[in-house]
Chains A and B, each alone.
Chain A
Amino acid sequence: MQSLSLLLASLPDGVLLGLVYGLAAMGLTLIWGVMNVINLSHGPIITLGMFGTFFLFLRAGVNPYLGLFVIAAFGLLLGVLIYAVAVHRVINAPHLSSLLATFSVNMIIIGLGTAVFTTSPYNVDFSLGSLPLGPVTLLGTRLVAALVAILYAGALYLFLYRTRPGKFIRAVANNRAAAELMGIPSTRILALSFGLGTMLAAVSGALIATFFPFSILSGGSYELKSFVIGVLGGLGSPVGALLGGLILGLLEGIIPAFLESSWVPVIEFALFVLILLVRPAGLLGAKR
């Protein structure tokens, strides 16, 4: 049964990549959930994570997975900075203002990045070998990346549900005015949430860089994936993002096995529209 073995071979790749895409989407969806801001600088921040791996690994010789800590810290600080500079003043303005503000940040990062890195493709030559399992070959880097994605998702969950700042974030997401009345420093919590969102984006970029080449312009396609995943899983729902990532990863793995790969976006976006029509809040969407 040829098509069955092809399906089997395509499944694991889809799952592994889907988890990493899900991690990126989680960053986008967290920011939306807490402050109703669509972060259009999501893509370039993913790209900065990729460059982080490139420079830490190739120039400083840091193992890409140890480098993740540095990149996570950098992502968090960058997010807090972007929040303070571009988002804070427009947070209560109509959505268009925050869209334009984060879009401007997007253009600034891409412009600076093009000047510094050019648009040449970069490649992190790092391999963990591969693990043959019958008809299936698992690539080490993807396996580890998926595990790291799960770890980060789990840590985020614990942070949101088991720690004080996490509870504050949920409170602000739920009702900012009420949270402020309870004495929660909402500005600091919003900045922290934005920082966490960009941290997840940067970390996912750092992981993707261990198996795919990239250029400063690569962020766009991953940002688009994050939107699709966010809508599938439900904007504002971190667990939904992971689920949406899995679905997207599986679609991208399986569709090309049976159809021309140009069908992938057709089917993906048909599903996107369908979800918007049938379940506008997404599969696990937070009630709004």
Chain B
Amino acid sequence: MRKLLSLFSRLSLVALLLAACAPAATPAAPPAAAETTVVIGFTSSLTGSQEVSSKRQVNGFNLWMDQVNAAGGLKLPDGSVVKFAAKTYDDESNKERVQELYTRLITEDNADFLISPYSSGLTAAAAIIAEQNGKVMITAGAAEDDAYKQGYTHIFQLYTPGSLYLISTVDMLKKLDPGARVAIVHENDKFSTSVVTGLKPYLEAQGFEVVLEEGYASDTTDFGPVINKLTESGATVLLGGGHYPDGSTFARQLYERKVGLKFTSLLVAPADSKFPELGDAALGVSTSSQWELKATHTQEEAASVGGEWFGPSGAEFASAYEAAFGDKPTYHAAGGYAAGLVLQKAILDAGSTDPAKVKAALEAMDIFTFYGGIKFDTSAEAHGLQISHQMVVVQWQKDDAGALVREVIWPAEVATADPLYPVPAP
């Protein structure tokens, strides 16, 4: 009996041991490509003053993400596959909300990488949080220069910086009408102020007379007093504006009051496809654009400057965008898409989603996409500032059928039409 018991206990011991070993003993499943999901966090302005442009930026970004995920994700050299998921909130176009929400994206939603909100003001608020937490942030719709001169090292800019925004417009004016008297009337916000900071010295260096420099509040609806001043100053050319709501209002009131300027260039608003809703008030109004389908960047252009090409062509992007959103892409949409593209390239170059390696890949990046050149300043003074991307000048003109179309008028190599100058008086 004792023997039997002892045998039983030994047997049960063996059984236990076998059971314990079983999982390890079964051969591991074949090393299926490890799939990781990278969380990209950002806020967008679903409501508030930046709504129009912000939504387009997010559309562009979502298109990129859907395309990458639909293609099965990114395949890294170690065989792993990276897919993307977005975590996003409505920032209400409000700086305080941006800071709360980016903190939340980092600490609670564990975002791996960040994309900026739209507009320089909101981005500056987000940049502080990203930098404090050591998160890489690609800034899409934010041109202002200052955020890159604060000693930050995690923020990477896609747009041509604000201080260079109107340089090509001034070059064009120099050719068309060197005697123009220029008025600068701009929104009093971070972005527009940074544009003017770069613009005024350049105008003066080119020999233009600046007859008026005036700022207006972001929520201005009555431009009457400013327009009176503009008329009084004897200006023939207006450079200025700010964002969509103020810019479209300004253009409408300039037209209603028959100011009769030879040329008007406003920031941001005329680049939007909603702008021709102004009817004849839109005619002749010009803007600087970060990207235009009609002057999209090409592989040939990349080859001619010896740059590495990456991503789809402009036409491919535009047709996919139109299919997804039923609307022609603006530069805000292209910027959103390019933000994803740049992150994709950096992860591929790094061969990893490790933030430090991706950051190093961004710092070393020097590529050409349909959206243009991408290279970041790596100096301590202006880390992350965009130094390769170029802008074009566009103008609303009438085609043969009398419909308003946005034509590229400068630089001459990529222009699709001659500048309308002077713009016929209303």
A residues with CB within 8 A of B? 2, 5-6, 9-10, 13, 17, 114, 118-121, 123, 125, 127, 130, 137, 139, 212-215, 217-218, 221, 252-257, 260-262
- Contact B48–A212 (Cβ < 8 Å): no
A2 to B47, alpha carbons, bound, how many Å? 43
- Contact B249–A213 (Cβ < 8 Å): yes
Which of chain B's residues have a CB closer than 8 A to the CB of A10?
224-225, 228
Which of chain A's residues have a CB closer than 8 A to the CB of B244?
121
A217 to B245, alpha carbons, bound, how many Å? 12
Quote the shortest CB–CB distance from B45 to chain A (angstroms): 8
- Contact B228–A260 (Cβ < 8 Å): no
Interface size on B, residues (CB 8 A): 33
Which of chain B's residues have a CB closer than 8 A to the CB of A215?
245
- Contact A119–B51 (Cβ < 8 Å): yes
- Contact A213–B226 (Cβ < 8 Å): no
Quote the shortest CB–CB distance from A213 to chain B (angstroms): 5
Contact residues of B between 145 and 202, Cβ < 8 Å to A: 188
8 tightest Cβ-Cβ pairs between the two chains A and B: A256-B225, A119-B47, A212-B221, A13-B224, A9-B228, A121-B245, A6-B232, A261-B216
- Contact B217–A6 (Cβ < 8 Å): no
Chain B CB within 10 Å, residue with most, of A2, A221, A261:
A261
- Contact A213–B220 (Cβ < 8 Å): no
B215 within 8 Å of A by Cβ? yes
- Contact B278–A123 (Cβ < 8 Å): yes
A-B contact pairs, 17 of them (CB 8 A): A9-B232, A13-B228, A17-B222, A121-B244, A123-B252, A125-B279, A130-B256, A139-B256, A212-B221, A212-B222, A213-B221, A213-B245, A221-B219, A252-B222, A256-B225, A261-B220, A262-B188
- Contact B228–A6 (Cβ < 8 Å): yes
B residues with CB within 8 A of A? 46-49, 51-52, 188, 214-217, 219-222, 224-226, 228-229, 231-232, 244-245, 248-249, 252, 256-258, 277-279
- Contact A114–B47 (Cβ < 8 Å): yes
A6 to B51, alpha carbons, bound, how many Å? 36
- Contact B226–A261 (Cβ < 8 Å): yes
- Contact A130–B228 (Cβ < 8 Å): no
A254 to B226, alpha carbons, bound, how many Å? 10
Name the CB-closest residue of A to B426.
A130
Chain A CB within 10 Å, residue with most, of B232, B258, B277:
B232
A255 to B277, alpha carbons, bound, how many Å? 32
- Contact B248–A262 (Cβ < 8 Å): no
A62 to B249, alpha carbons, bound, how many Å? 23
Name the CB-closest residue of B to A5.
B232
A213 to B274, alpha carbons, bound, how many Å? 14
A261 to B226, alpha carbons, bound, how many Å? 8
Which of chain A's residues have a CB closer than 8 A to the CB of B257?
130, 137, 139
Which of chain B's residues have a CB closer than 8 A to the CB of A114?
47
A13 to B232, alpha carbons, bound, how many Å? 16
Which of chain B's residues have a CB closer than 8 A to the CB of A123?
248, 252, 277-278
Chain A CB within 10 Å, residue with most, of B219, B224, B278:
B224
Quote the shortest CB–CB distance from A129 to chain B (angstroms): 9
- Contact B228–A257 (Cβ < 8 Å): yes
Quote the shortest CB–CB distance from A281 to chain B (angstroms): 30
Q: Out of A125, A255, A260, which one reaches B278, CB within 8 Å? A: A125
- Contact A118–B228 (Cβ < 8 Å): no
- Contact A256–B249 (Cβ < 8 Å): no
Name the CB-closest residue of B to A249.
B222
- Contact B214–A119 (Cβ < 8 Å): no
Which of chain A's residues have a CB closer than 8 A to the CB of B248?
121, 123, 213
Quote the shortest CB–CB distance from A262 to chain B (angstroms): 6
Q: Out of A9, A13, A125, A137, which one reaches B277, CB within 8 Å? A: A125
Q: Out of B188, B220, B224, which one reaches A253, CB within 8 Å? A: B224
Quote the shortest CB–CB distance from A247 to chain B (angstroms): 16
- Contact B232–A212 (Cβ < 8 Å): no
A212 to B47, alpha carbons, bound, how many Å? 20
Name the CB-closest residue of B to A110.
B47
Chain B CB within 10 Å, residue with most, of A118, A121, A257, A260:
A121
A256 to B222, alpha carbons, bound, how many Å? 11
Given contacts A137-B258, A262-B217, 13 further A-B contacts (CB under 8 A): A9-B228, A10-B224, A121-B244, A123-B248, A212-B221, A217-B47, A252-B222, A253-B224, A256-B229, A261-B215, A261-B217, A261-B225, A262-B215
Which of chain A's residues have a CB closer than 8 A to the CB of B47?
114, 118-119, 217
A69 to B331, alpha carbons, bound, how many Å? 43
Quote the shortest CB–CB distance from B285 to chain A (angstroms): 15
Quote the shortest CB–CB distance from A251 to chain B (angstroms): 11
Q: Out of A127, A221, A252, A261, which one reaches B256, CB within 8 Å? A: A127
- Contact B277–A252 (Cβ < 8 Å): no
- Contact B226–A256 (Cβ < 8 Å): yes
Which of chain A's residues have a CB closer than 8 A to the CB of B214?
260-261
- Contact B188–A6 (Cβ < 8 Å): no
A17 to B256, alpha carbons, bound, how many Å? 16
Name the CB-closest residue of B to A136.
B228
A278 to B301, alpha carbons, bound, how many Å? 71
Name the CB-closest residue of B to A16.
B224
- Contact A212–B249 (Cβ < 8 Å): yes
A255 to B48, alpha carbons, bound, how many Å? 28
A260 to B212, alpha carbons, bound, how many Å? 12
Which of chain A's residues have a CB closer than 8 A to the CB of B215?
260-262
Which of chain B's residues have a CB closer than 8 A to the CB of A13?
222, 224-225, 228
A40 to B51, alpha carbons, bound, how many Å? 25
Quote the shortest CB–CB distance from A3 to chain B (angstroms): 9
- Contact B217–A217 (Cβ < 8 Å): no
Which of chain A's residues have a CB closer than 8 A to the CB of B258?
130, 137
